[in-house]
Amino acid sequence: MSAASETAVRSGVGNVRGLFRDRPIIPLVVLLALLVVVMQLASPGIVKLSWAGVILRTAVPLAILGACQTLTMLTGGIDLSVGAIASMAGFVTATLIHSPGGVPQAILVALAVSALAGLLTGIVVGVFRVHPLIVTLGMSFIVLGFANVWQLQSVQTGAGVPVELRTIGSGLQGEIVPNSLVVFVPISIFILVLLRLTGYGRLLFAIGDNPVAARLSGARSWQVLTVLYVLSAVLAGIAGLVLSGLTNTASVSLADSSLLPSVAAAVIGGTSIFGGRGGYGGTIVGALILTVLSALLTVLGLPEPTRQIVFGSIIVLVAAAYTRVTAET
Amino acid sequence: MSAAAPPVGAARVGPLDGIAAYVRRNGWTFGLIALLVALLLFTKWIQPRYGPIPLQGLATSVQPLVLAAVAQAIVVISGGIDLSIGSIMALTSVVSATLMDKQTEGVSVAVVIGVLLLGLAVGAVNGALVVFTRVPDIVVTLAMSFVWAGCALLVRSAPGGGAAAWLRGLVGGPLGNEWIPKAAVTVLVVVFVVWIPLSRSRIGLSIYAIGSNRLAAFRSGVPVARTRLLAYVLTGFFSALAGLSLTATTSIGSPVPGPYTLLSVAAVVLGGVSLAGGRGGVFGPIVAVVVLQLIQTDLTFLRFDSNYALVAQGAILMLVTMFSSYLSFRRTRT
């Protein structure tokens, strides 16, 4: 092989790496397409518009929870309280629908409580500089504890998931377009714009990349972080509302099983857990990949244990491939 | 408060100075022990009947989490974190409960040894993945938590099985004096036999070194990859012990992971181990677990809704870490 072609090959590999590093969303979309093809092969005829609608509907709560992880991971943090907050929001709403203000009041109360939890988290993380992993873990205990107390006191006065939430969470327009997009599209546009175009978004990247440099260049990181964790908690609350509508259940442990997948969605989507690198577009695709994957594993007729094993292995594989390809050489 | 170290080679170093330095170095653990003693006295005060039997019950009920906290402490000291501990416990617990159910003593001893080897293997897989894929620890172990939980479900889809009589005997009741719970002695013996010699050896030093500053450790000739792997292997071993303890204390094996992963992280942090790695020991987390459990007991005695115990644990976790962050802030200022 001549030297010239060798260089060409090497720069070709370099280009692929550069592409993966700069536009992580492209290989992710390819992976997603691949999974859909496998799905079609595994069960011919299953892939059609209504199927896509159902997948999208399932992926929406996960994608919103993934937003919490993406935003916090960009600053080098993580939010382990999203599961507890989301469950709490869904549960509180369901118990308050008979209050004077009806469903809107119930939702407002649920989101206000979420925001309060986020505010506390944010202050402890931002002002006292405690590791977010610990603070959000502690906050999840606190929220779950209070939710349990509330569960005992509200004694289920015929409460259930309100019809409005069920329509939004699980309804499909024309059997295809999920109603939850009404919630999801504004949120995703908001986050994408926030990260790409606003100073606040740049501050998140700056703090995650190098907190000391960010502070020295005048970023008031405690303010940024406090706002961040309030935002994350409110998003988690919204995800909980959508999820309770989707599953038509209100329980204090509803979203617990979504916590780890939400981190996985952000990681697969190319957001670095060390901060400073990533974006929300990848997370959305990551959430879709996880949802399709789990649907695929169900279609393949694998029993639950095997599904979990394959699920975990694929997360490690994707993350490893990602790290290998984008590793600075 | 000055945190200055005593001058090296000071002229008169009496035996008391050594003890003082030891206490200062382990100040956090001693603070926790003082808190534990205060809590025990408080418990005795609000519930005069609190005696040796409840104490034995306390030791038995905290044992799985204590061992999980030791497991987590080791990997966190090495600068990592293992979010699959709860799943490893579920796996080792179902394997042991299934294999030793209605078997002879000899078989059950072999099962215990086999399960400990399984723990080593599982830890080795975790460690190898972390080291060779270069994916962050938290992501790998998070994903592996699904894998190990799935394996546990493969072994047994519903809780069941049994524990050998001698194993159950190891974790309940008193040893000699009624005030000495056997469960506590078992834990201390295991820690003293396995971790203390290791932590005093070159291996232990390496684990602390890579947790403290990986690059500096590498440049000082510490085999970083091998040591990280070893830390995960040790964590797997102690997770398997925690799983065995789960089987022994509940007499069955359950394939559904308990809340042990996140609780072990909380205990480690409360126990004075820095999440950044390189600082702390295993005794702080052990005491922290007992303190958390005792607070829950006291709240029950005080007729609080038991759910407030969860709130209290979360609040304590946050307050204590705020306090420790404040201490280190002052230390850097002075």
DSSP structure string for B273-288:
--TTSS---SHHHHHH
Residue A219 is assigned to a structural domain of this protein: yes
Q: How does the average pLDDT of chain A come out, rounded? A: 86
When divided into structural domains, chain A yields a total of 1
Between CA B31 and CA B23 the distance in angstroms is 10
| Closest Cα in chain A, distance from residue B266 (Å) | 7
Report the CATH number that the domain containing residue A60 is assigned in CATH. 1.10.3470
Which tens digits make up the pLDDT trace of B59-118?
899 999 999 999 999 999 999 999 999 999 999 999 999 998 888 888 889 999 999 999
pLDDT (0 to 100) of residue A301: 86
Residues of A within 8 A of B307 (CB-CB) are 145-146, 148-149, 152
Which tens digits make up the pLDDT trace of B174-218?
887 878 888 888 899 999 998 888 888 999 999 999 999 999 999
Residues of A within 8 A of B154 (CB-CB) are 305-306, 309
∠ Cα B39 B45 B48 (to 5°): 120
Q: What are the structural domain ranges in chain B?
A: 57-325
Paired strand residues for B175: B177
What tokens does B3 get? Answer: 């945190």
- List CB contacts of B164: < 8 A, sequence separation 6 or more: B100, B103, B105, B108, B111
Q: Which of B147, B275, B332 to mutate to test the interface with A (most CBs of A within 10 A)?
A: B147
Between CA B56 and CA B33 the distance in angstroms is 18
Among candidates B139, B149, B310 on the partner chain, residue whose Cβ is nearest the Cβ of A267 = B139
Cβ density class B26-42: b for 16+ within 10 Å, e for less: bebbbebbebeeebbee
Q: How far is CA B274 from the centre of its chain?
A: 14
Segments in B137-282 forming alpha helices (H): 137-155, 165-171, 182-190, 196-200, 202-212, 214-219, 224-250, 260-270
Instruction: Tell me if B311 and A142 make a contact (CB, 8 A cut-off).
Output: yes
Between CA A273 and CA B172 the distance in angstroms is 42
Among candidates B135, B142, B269 on the partner chain, residue whose Cβ is nearest the Cβ of A134 = B269
Among candidates A137, A149, A274 on the partner chain, residue whose Cβ is nearest the Cβ of B308 = A149
| Closest Cα in chain A, distance from residue B296 (Å) | 12
Instruction: Tell me if A137 and B275 make a contact (CB, 8 A cut-off).
Output: no
pLDDT (0 to 100) of residue A156: 58
Q: Does pTM top 0.80 for this prediction?
A: yes
What tokens does A276 get? Answer: 């400073």
A 270-299 near B (Cβ less than 8 A)? 273-274
Residue A20 is assigned to a structural domain of this protein: no
Residue A244 is assigned to a structural domain of this protein: yes
- List CB contacts of B180: < 8 A, sequence separation 6 or more: B174
Q: How far is CA B265 from the centre of its chain?
A: 9
Of A18 and B59, more confident: B59
Longest pairwise C-alpha distance within chain A: 80
Which tens digits make up the pLDDT trace of A250-293?
888 888 888 888 998 998 888 888 888 888 999 999 999 999 99
Segments in chain A forming alpha helices (H): 3-22, 25-42, 49-74, 82-96, 102-126, 132-154, 163-170, 181-197, 199-209, 211-216, 221-247, 259-268, 280-299, 304-326
Between CA A277 and CA A264 the distance in angstroms is 15
Residue A6 is assigned to a structural domain of this protein: no
Instruction: Tell me if B134 and A323 make a contact (CB, 8 A cut-off).
Output: yes
> Cβ of A137 under 8 Å from any chain B Cβ?
yes
Q: How far is CA A201 from CA A77, A168, A223, in A?
A: 15, 29, 13
Residue A14 is assigned to a structural domain of this protein: no
pLDDT at B306 over 60: yes
Residues in chain B: 334
Domain that holds residue A215: 27-39+53-324
Between CA A225 and CA A88 the distance in angstroms is 23
Among candidates A138, A260, A304 on the partner chain, residue whose Cβ is nearest the Cβ of B145 = A260
- CATH class for the region spanning B57-325: mainly alpha
